[in-house]
Amino acid sequence: MHQRNRQIAFAKRPEGIPDASAFVQREAAMPTIGDGELLCRTLVLSIDPYLRLKMHDRRSYTPPLRIGELISGRGVAEVVESRDPGYRVGDIVVISGGWQDFAAIKSSNAKRIEPGTSLGAWLGPLGTTGATAYVGLLEIGKPRAGETLVVSGAAGAVGSLVGQIGKIFGCRVVGIAGSEEKCRTVLEEFGFDACVSYRDRDFGEQLRQVCKDGCGVYFDNVGGSVSFEVAKHFNDFARIVVCGLISQYSGQQPTHPTALDEYLRLILMRRLTVRGFIVSDIAADYPAFESDMRRWLEEGRIRFKEHAYRGFDNIVPAFLGMLAGENTGKTLVYVAEQVAAHSRNPPA
């Protein structure tokens, strides 16, 4: 095991769509730990769009990154040193350790995961991504059997899960994704009822064809002109789950200058419920999430697809690729192999 601690830090605030110059790789001293802490070696990193929001110097739900700061992020890691008797070397944990090889973490901020489940799943359906899909859809979307649920970003990590949960609740599920190939996956692997590509010139007409009964729930991951088109189909009393606006994260202007006025008109005329949410605010209200999701995975009712990269040097390309729509499913980077395996029985 090498003892270098490679890190990726924030180098400069990008204008528009970021490139690799926003990041810098450096080597830092190996972290040391005190009582109640764990030294963790990163195995798998979750690559998430909210990082683009943190690159702006403006008020958000999460503080802006400072220049020179380690890039934050969740991951699955292996405990390589423990100063908490409840944890052993070789335990596998989910942590927010950032983009680095090794992190010192308070054990109270680590979640030990059980053997037997794929590591990536703890960053996908069983992790924050899955919780976002589950709580956003159930708390705000309130899906009812027979209703049409429209999901943007349908081939992505959150969107692919939202549609599958919608099917479990009896919805007719329409996806919107960035290519015909992605739409095929959304239909064939994720089991949506219909999927249209927003890049097709006749996207609006295709959407009209698949929303003949309107839209009762819209789970929005992208915002912008895609959502403007979906809004034309909102039924009376539709619920709009504002989960993400990735089409706007790099500072793009809304395509339609009157979009906000039109949206407000629809909110009143169609008596819509529109609510934004951040998963960390409401996930604790849904203790059944993990057991429901595990059961659905075991029963094959939820399928999980990884878009995996390998190696530390591919962390930045994975993030840039995800913003550009390279991924189908959850973007992950496998940084290192697990080495210090033990029996995985929790300590007595």
Ligand X SMILES: NC(=O)c1ccc[n+]([C@@H]2O[C@H](COP(=O)([O-])OP(=O)(O)OC[C@H]3O[C@@H](n4cnc5c(N)ncnc54)[C@H](OP(=O)(O)O)[C@@H]3O)[C@@H](O)[C@H]2O)c1
Which CB atom, from 324 or from 339, has the smaller least distance to ligand X? 324
Which CB atom, from 107 or from 132, has the smaller least distance to ligand X? 132
Concatenate the DSSP letters of all residues of 126-165 into one string: TSHHHHHHHHIIIIII---TT-EEEEESTTBHHHHHHHHH
Rounded to an integer, what distance in angstroms lies between the CA atom of residue 231 and that of residue 259? 10
Which CB atom, from 121 or from 158, has the smaller least distance to ligand X? 158
Determine the 3-state secondary structure of 115 from DSSP: coil
Judged by CB under 6 A, does residue 211 bind ligand X? no
Judged by CB under 6 A, does residue 158 bind ligand X? yes
Judged by CB under 6 A, does residue 247 bind ligand X? yes
User: How many Å is the Cα radius of gyration of the chain?
Assistant: 21
How far from chain centre, in Å, is Cα 304?
A: 13
Q: How far is the CB of 291 from ligand X (least distance, A)?
A: 21
Which CB atom, from 33 or from 165, has the smaller least distance to ligand X? 165
Q: How far is the CB of 259 from ligand X (least distance, A)?
A: 14
State how far the alpha carbon of 109 is from the alpha carbons of 63, 103, 251, in Å.
Answer: 19, 12, 33
Which segment (37-45, 80-88, 222-230, 263-271) binds ligand X by CB under 6 A? Answer: 222-230
Q: Show the CA angle centred on residue 282, arms to residues 46 and 289, nearest 5°.
A: 70
Rounded to an integer, what distance in angstroms lies between the CA atom of residue 36 and that of residue 118? 27
When binding is defined by CB under 6 A, the residue of 86, 214, 254, 325 that contacts ligand X is 325
Judged by CB under 6 A, does residue 49 bind ligand X? yes
Q: How far is the CB of 300 from ligand X (least distance, A)?
A: 21
- Cα Dmax for the chain: 63
DSSP designation for 140: I
**φ, ψ at 318 (rounded to 5°):** -65, -45
When binding is defined by CB under 6 A, the residue of 322, 332, 335, 336 that contacts ligand X is 322
Residues that bind ligand X (CB under 6 A): 48-50, 129, 132, 153, 155-159, 177-178, 182, 221-222, 224, 226, 243-244, 246-247, 277-279, 322-323, 325, 327, 331
